[in-house]
Amino acid sequence: MKRIDDLDRRTLAKLGREYMLGAQLNSRAGYAGLQMNHGPEYYKDVAIDNWMAASPIYTERMQRAMGFAGGSDVPTIFKGLQLEVGFSHQYFDTHFEVASAEEGFFWLKSCGPLLEVEPRGEEAVRVMCHDIEDPTFDATAVATNPRARVRPVHRPPRASVDRAPHCKWRVFIDHEAEALTETPLTYRLRETRLAQVPVTRSDARSNEGMDYYDGEVLEQLQLELFSRAALAHICKELAIQAHLLTHSMAMAIADRLGEDAALTNAEFQMQGSAWPISERLCRSLGLSGGGLDAIACVLSVHPWLCPEEYLACRIDRAEDESVLLAFDAGPAASEESPYGLYQLLASGRDAGLEALVRGIDPRAVVIPVEGQAMAWRITLEEGAELRDEPLSVQIAKGTLAYSTQFHDHIALLQG
């Protein structure tokens, strides 16, 4: 089985887009579980805390990873936005223009979440495009400059259904503005091992693609522009972004509804997203048809099990017609936060793992290894595919995000 560091540029670019979209599926499942179990009144505030807590942390991480840390200007902000799961490539058709070091614009020719929300009415659009985006956009900019501001030029609700671009935003540095500060939840999230885990990469510069994003801001960034080493690092950071958002959502729910509610929702979220992510990875990697070899391959690159620097999981294709999944004593094993995949599995909440493998092959059965902690054997059982898909999976698979089809930029691989 190939891990992230072993993959070629084209595959890594595909994987990066899938990781970005996977974070959107995480959100859909998580927010749906919250509203079904506790009512819609918690959605807005939890969503705001969720993104405000995680985005400054993962933005700083990506800045360091891709060689544009240290700036306090609009170009630095834009590069961070182009490499974060909140602007999943192609699900969001986002473009950027730098007017100066202190001003710029971005616009969405098409916004996947808007197309999903508009059928629910104007109020739902305002909650997403006004109530949630106003504070969370500024929170992302805080990672670069506490006096950066993101303000709409225009945004939904749309006056007509064919208005394009869907929205346009001005980003600027306001030297007279009060400096924004991080939320208390951000400080708590920074204390996790997840937020601090180092991801290693080769520093050698390549003749094929950009090793770092240390040049000018591109109007629309395509992942195929990066080198293999850079893409491997980007994919690992994107996986960390999704994990951070999962943690911060659970923390925001726990603050309001208690730990049991947070853990229940975290398991629902992982179950709902893991299955469709697995299905999409199978299609993207040409592994349709299932089977144990496909299970081993997808497990080795599934964002819920990456990066290996954090989760330290082993995937072995055994000779007895099974796949062994086991976790070693990596940083995740000593995480104090109870909301990550490792902690959920350790506490017996394994619905996410079962959904992950069933999304690769619906015949898959997950069996704990007797006498060995944090180890499972995956086999195929005829007739198991007749089991119904869980509600969380049905919700995620009913979204526009799940049905989004990506396009490769193969010509850019020659650069």
Q: Quick: pLDDT tens for 128-174.
A: 999 999 999 988 888 899 999 999 999 999 987 778 899 999 999 99
Indicate the pLDDT class of residue 289, thresholds 50, 70 and 90: confident
What is the average pLDDT across 232-248?
Answer: 98
- Report the mean per-residue pLDDT for the chain: 94
pLDDT at 204 over 80: no
Q: Cα 225 to chain center, whole Å? A: 20
Q: What is the mean pLDDT of residues 34-42?
A: 94
Percent of the chain at pLDDT > 70 equals 98
Q: Has residue 279 got a pLDDT over 80?
A: yes
Look at residue 385 in the predicted model and tell me its pLDDT: 82
Per-residue pLDDT at 415? 55
Question: How much is the pLDDT for 203?
Answer: 62
Q: What is the pLDDT of residue 125?
A: 92
Write down the pLDDT at residue 230. 96
pLDDT digits (tens, 9 = 90+) for 376-394: 999 999 988 888 999 999 9
pLDDT at 161: 75
Query: Which residue ranges form the domains of the chain, and what is each CATH number?
Result: 7-236 (3.90.1520), 272-403 (3.30.1380)
